[in-house]
Amino acid sequence: MRALLQRVSHASVSVNGAVLGEIGPGLMILVCAMQGDTEAEAEKLAAKTAKLRIFKDDEGRMNRSVLDVQGAVLVISQFTLAADTSRGNRPGFSPAAAPEDGERLYQHFAAALQSHGIPIATGRFGADMQVSLTNDGPVTIWLDTAT
Catalytic residue list: 78-80
Inter-residue contact 76 to 29 (CB < 8 Å): yes
Inter-residue contact 33 to 42 (CB < 8 Å): yes
Q: Please state the φ and ψ torsions of residue 12, each to the nearest 5 degrees.
A: -150, 160
Distance CA 116, CA 91 (A): 35
Inter-residue contact 99 to 46 (CB < 8 Å): no
